[in-house]
Chain A
Amino acid sequence: MAAALLVLLGYFVVYVAFAANLMQFPFDYDQGEGFELVDTIMFSQGQWPYQDTNVYPFYSSNYPPLFHVMAAPFVWFFGPAYWYGRLLGFLGTLVTAAAIGYAVHRETGHRLVAVLSGLAFLASNTIYHIGPLFRQHMTMVMFETLAVVVLAHANEIEDRGRRRRALALGLGLILCAGFTKQLAYATAIAALAFLFIRNPRRGIVWGMGFAATGVLIFLGINVATDGQWWLQTITANVNDFIPDQTVGLFRLWFSLHGFLLVPAALLVIYEFYFDRLSIYALWFVAATANGILSGKWGAGDSYFATAIAALCLLSGIFMARTLQGQWRFPSNYLSRLLVDPFRRFGKGIGTAALVVVPLLYLGYGRAVLHMPTTGPVFGPIAQFLGLEANALNGFYDSAGRIAGGYADIGHFTTEDDIAAGWEIVELVRSAEGPVLSEEAAFNLHAGKDVITNPTQLLNLAGNGMFESDGLLSMIRNQEFELLVLRAQFYPPDILKAIGEYYRHDDAIEMNGFEYLILRPKSDLNP
């Protein structure tokens, strides 16, 4: 067990170092972070980011508001910056890990396994590389996990007042998760199903209250934004589904987390047939099923983050119960068929658990292997382990580039990356008039308007909801002196016009991505 603890603590050190590195990086690390910053700035100024994309500056957001509202006070004190959004995401993962550990300890009383369960969550490749980003996903997972932990024993509280407060708090936390990111609906379904199974009356009454509150907030925002909230966050989110991406990401998820996933699944099966179904089990099932949506265009491995939190919690309970020999199989047709023939081996199985449980955590530690391979601390360790970099900037990631939709990030940024970013900012600053940039940070640092949110325009265009005339007119009139492209996620007609009216002038590499600098074609000057 000590070896398992050492390995998972090692990943925690890598995680903290990565988070510290990212907080010092003043540009997009993951595509689109800058637009989350723009949303935050707009909230700090009392504006909704759900705007009409058919008029200048053609900008809108497709995410619910809570994460950006939480980050907004930082804008008042520190101005536009990436570090506080990344800090919030990072702290959210620590709270989630602590909640997982707390739940495992509450259910089993096993302190070491509780610590291992929390650390296992932070050691996951997916959590590692999404945690310290300026994104709302991990804050959603934090609210979901806290909600589940609060609701898990709410039904057993004898005092009516205390029980009601626990239910209100738990369901309130799920609403917070939902207004952080839409994906939390799966946790809402699991929680309401749990309340219904335990007591249908309570499930129906509280479910109606929960739905009414959510709908009221939703309608309020929709009215306040003149219908843009519905258009931008719901209609625009209906994207193409790529089945191969879902299959690939499920396989990757299993290959990385299989050592903990199997115990978690066994506990779900055990509860299903031999014990009461816990909210943790229903949460795990709902979150895993929700992983199917990872095949949507624009989705990815982050869609498994909730399922990873659930599997770390369930596997922790499974491991602790196994070590403590706490399994009980009440008599039914399955126990007679599958358990009774093996009861005489119970003692031996208990002894084997002392070896198997640490091995499962060690196996998990090997499966999720990720760390820098250079530097005074990580270099010698990587050399000792025989690791060679397979990702950017001397980084090794056991999950790297295996499945489509897996975010190829996790590497540390360098001084060269920061210098390249400032070089682009200087180009933007020296341009006269507006600049169309696919990354918001350059415009923000240069003090220029942020124009468009490319992926949102693409989402809208895919659903026939974007009228490109205004933006096309500006491109055809060459009103932008400079364009900065990265992933080229604009709608096809916009990209076509850019190709017709702008020429490639330069390319600057930053953080492993090539930023294309485009200027107006001089022979087409209107």
Chain B
Amino acid sequence: MQGNFAVVYCRAMLREDFTLTKRQLGLLLIIIGVAGFAAILAIDIIDVGREGGIGPAQRMALGLMAALALAGLTLLPITDTPA
């Protein structure tokens, strides 16, 4: 059932006249923010040879990802408006 829903949703997204809504954009930002945050943290877990923990560039990138996810959250209540 859920698989069918995803297929139908993806098909709809690929229509010529489809455009993202604010809510969909919010969801997308949350996914990118959370995934990006986890990926940046994972650099230290995967790259075991590195020393010094989370560096300044990583901290800035983590901040950006968190901001992205938070911005996405604030869009969720705005439902049917095109993004």
Taking Cβ atoms with an 8 Å cutoff, the residues of A that contact B are: 196-201, 204, 241, 243, 246, 272-273, 276-277, 289, 292, 295, 330, 332-334
B3 close to chain A: CB less than 8 A: no
Contact between chains at A243 and B56 (CB < 8 Å): yes
Given A276-B83, A277-B83, A332-B78, decide whether A201 and B56 contact each other with a Cβ distance below 8 A.
no
Given A273-B78, A276-B83, decide whether A197 and B15 contact each other with a Cβ distance below 8 A.
no
Contact between chains at A243 and B83 (CB < 8 Å): no
* CB contact between A292 and one of B14, B57, B81 (< 8 Å): that residue: B57
Contact between chains at B15 and A201 (CB < 8 Å): yes
Apart from the given pairs A199-B19, A241-B55, A241-B56, 7 other A-B contacts in the complex at a CB distance below 8 Å: A197-B19, A200-B13, A201-B18, A204-B14, A273-B75, A276-B83, A333-B78
1/0 per residue, CB under 8 A from A, across B35-62: the answer is: 0000000000000000000011100110
Closest to B67 in A: A289
Contact between chains at A200 and B77 (CB < 8 Å): no
Chain B residues with CB below 8 A from A333, complex form: 77-78
8 contacts between A and B (CB under 8 A): A199-B17, A200-B13, A201-B16, A243-B60, A273-B74, A289-B64, A333-B78, A334-B74
1/0 per residue, CB under 8 A from A, across B9-45: the answer is: 0000111111110100100000000000000000000
Chain A residues with CB below 8 A from B83, complex form: 197, 276-277
Chain B residues with CB below 8 A from A277, complex form: 25, 83
Chain B residues with CB below 8 A from A246, complex form: 60
Contact between chains at B25 and A200 (CB < 8 Å): no
Contact between chains at A200 and B18 (CB < 8 Å): yes
Contact between chains at B20 and A200 (CB < 8 Å): yes
What's the Cα separation between A334 and B56 when bound, in Å? 34
B70 close to chain A: CB less than 8 A: no
Given A200-B20, A201-B13, A201-B16, decide whether A276 and B78 contact each other with a Cβ distance below 8 A.
no
What's the Cα separation between A333 and B18 when bound, in Å? 25
B71 close to chain A: CB less than 8 A: yes
Chain A residues with CB below 8 A from B22, complex form: 273
Taking Cβ atoms with an 8 Å cutoff, the residues of B that contact A are: 13-20, 22, 25, 55-57, 60-61, 64, 71, 74-75, 77-78, 81-83
- Shortest distance between the CB of B54 and any CB in chain A (Å): 12
Contact between chains at A199 and B16 (CB < 8 Å): yes
- Shortest distance between the CB of B48 and any CB in chain A (Å): 20
Chain B residues with CB below 8 A from A197, complex form: 19-20, 25, 83
What's the Cα separation between A474 and B61 when bound, in Å? 44
What's the Cα separation between A273 and B78 when bound, in Å? 8
What's the Cα separation between A243 and B71 when bound, in Å? 25
- Shortest distance between the CB of A266 and any CB in chain B (Å): 15
What's the Cα separation between A333 and B81 when bound, in Å? 13
- Shortest distance between the CB of A261 and any CB in chain B (Å): 17
- Shortest distance between the CB of A32 and any CB in chain B (Å): 24
What's the Cα separation between A273 and B77 when bound, in Å? 10
Contact between chains at A200 and B14 (CB < 8 Å): yes
Chain A residues with CB below 8 A from B14, complex form: 200-201, 204
What's the Cα separation between A197 and B25 when bound, in Å? 8
What's the Cα separation between A273 and B64 when bound, in Å? 19
Chain A residues with CB below 8 A from B15, complex form: 201
Contact between chains at A241 and B57 (CB < 8 Å): yes
Contact between chains at B82 and A276 (CB < 8 Å): yes
Chain A residues with CB below 8 A from B25, complex form: 197, 277
What's the Cα separation between A200 and B55 when bound, in Å? 35
Identify which of A198, A200, A204, A241 gathers the most chain B CB atoms within 10 Å of its CB: A200
What's the Cα separation between A330 and B19 when bound, in Å? 19
What's the Cα separation between A272 and B61 when bound, in Å? 21
Contact between chains at A330 and B81 (CB < 8 Å): yes
- Shortest distance between the CB of A412 and any CB in chain B (Å): 37
Chain B residues with CB below 8 A from A241, complex form: 55-57
What's the Cα separation between A30 and B81 when bound, in Å? 50
Closest to B16 in A: A201
What's the Cα separation between A246 and B59 when bound, in Å? 13
- Shortest distance between the CB of B5 and any CB in chain A (Å): 17
* CB contact between A272 and one of B19, B55, B60, B71 (< 8 Å): that residue: B71
- Shortest distance between the CB of B74 and any CB in chain A (Å): 8
* CB contact between A332 and one of B13, B19, B71, B81 (< 8 Å): that residue: B81
What's the Cα separation between A334 and B78 when bound, in Å? 9
- Shortest distance between the CB of A340 and any CB in chain B (Å): 16
Chain B residues with CB below 8 A from A201, complex form: 13-16, 18
Closest to B12 in A: A200
Chain B residues with CB below 8 A from A276, complex form: 82-83
Nearest 9 CB-CB pairings of A with B:
A243-B56, A201-B14, A200-B13, A197-B20, A332-B78, A241-B57, A333-B77, A197-B83, A292-B60
Chain A residues with CB below 8 A from B61, complex form: 292
What's the Cα separation between A204 and B18 when bound, in Å? 13
